[in-house]
Amino acid sequence: MSNKKKKKLSPVQQEYQAFAKAREPKRPVLTNVLRAFLVGGFICLIGQGISDFFIWNFDFTEKTAGSPTVAVLIFISVVLTSLGVYDHIAQWAGAGTAVPVTGFANSLASAAIEHRTEGYVLGVGGNMFKLAGSVIVFGTVAAFVIALIKTLLGGTLHA
């Protein structure tokens, strides 16, 4: 709360704020960071294993194995979300499951599952794209800006 808002509180409200803050449970920051690191790292390790699988068994290159690897990770995330497993992992791991692409897939799948009773178009589709809309718009605008910069610099940037 900003200092401006604190000054407008009555003495009773300020006393209650102090009372509530003193009894608020302490957050185990180090434990949360460690859990997020371990689970996020494990998700990335699984992704690396899937990528290596595509490279070794299907003669993909490191560059071409990326897209199918992401697709498989998204598929696994959606299946685990639909079974209710991903939510339990996310509850324990926190941001470790939210940061990789699997977290975004979980968010979309959760929105779809939650609103399926409202119909496929307005329920599932509408609520999935409420969530994904900002990501799609930002990605499109960012791609346009990068392409514009690359064009203006004469193609000297290498992707």
Q: In the structure, what pLDDT confidence band is assigned to residue 159 with cuts at 50, 70 and 90?
A: low
Question: Is the pTM for the entire model greater than 0.85?
Answer: no
Q: Which residues 6+ apart lie within 8 Å of 103 measured at CB?
A: 77, 90, 97
Domain boundaries, the chain: 28-155
Q: What's the alpha-carbon Rg for the chain, to the nearest Å?
A: 22
Question: What is the full DSSP assignment across 122-150?
Answer: IIIIHHHHHHHHHHHHHHHHHHHHHHHHH
Token pair belonging to 125? 């589709």
Token pair belonging to 33? 């960071």
Task: List pLDDT tens digits, range 91-129.
Answer: 999 888 887 788 888 888 877 777 777 777 777 777 777
Q: What are phi and psi of 29, to 5 degrees?
A: -60, -50
End-to-end distance of the chain based on CA atoms, in angstroms? Answer: 44
Q: In the structure, what pLDDT confidence band is assigned to residue 58 with cuts at 50, 70 and 90?
A: very high
For the purposes of burial, counting CB atoms within 10 Å of the CB of 23, is it exposed (0-12), middle (13-18) or buried (19 or more)? exposed
